[in-house]
Amino acid sequence: MQVLDKDGNLVPNLYCIGDANGKMMLAHAASAQGISVVEQVCGKDHVLNHLSIPAACFTHPEISMLPD
């Protein structure tokens, strides 16, 4: 969740979580991202796997699928 500048370089001490980073716009994803950022700020290496965060898409008519 570290922010990149216009040249693709990491901006020191600047992180972005939740809807603003565009990765996964769900409240529980933002919560997991926040935990990941706090772990990183505290010096612990923490990588968040966005594929492990459950998500849903509601359709009409209702359909379902299994993830790849």
pLDDT at 46 > cutoff 90: no
- Looking at residue 49, what is its pLDDT? 82
Mean pLDDT, rounded, for 8-37: 87
Nearest alpha-carbon partner for 13 in 48, 40, 36: 40
The encoded tokens of residue 47 equal 């990588």
**How far is residue 33's CA from residue 52's CA, in Å, rounded to a whole number?**
12
pLDDT at 60 > cutoff 90: no
pLDDT at 66 > cutoff 80: no
**How far is residue 45's CA from residue 5's CA, in Å, rounded to a whole number?**
22
Domain segments of the chain: what residues? 2-52
Sign of the torsion formed by the C-alpha atoms of 41, 11, 16 and 46: negative
Mean pLDDT, rounded, for 15-19: 88
